Amino acid sequence: MPRKWERVPKALTIADVKSLLAAKFNDRTALRDSSMLELLYSSGLRVSELVNIKLGDIHAEAGFIRVIGKGSKERIVPVNGRALGRIKRFISEERPVILKKRESLYLFVTRTGRPMTRQRFWQMLKAVGKQAGIELSPHTIRHCFATHLLEGGADLRSVQKMLGHADISTTQIYTKVTTDRIKKVFKTYHPRA
Q: Show which residues are catalytic.
A: 46, 70, 139, 142, 165, 174
For residue 83, how many other CB atoms are within 10 A of its CB?
23
β-strands 58-59, 64-68: how paired? antiparallel
CA–CA separation, 91 and 28 (whole Å)? 14
Say what angle helices 138-151 and 30-43 make with each other, to 10 degrees.
40
With CA atoms as reference, report the closest residue to 32 among 92, 76, 77: 92
State how far the Cα of 42 lies from the Cα of 47, in Å rounded to an integer. Answer: 13
Amino acid at residue number 87 = I
**Distance from C-alpha of 34 to C-alpha of 36, rounded to nearest angstrom:** 5
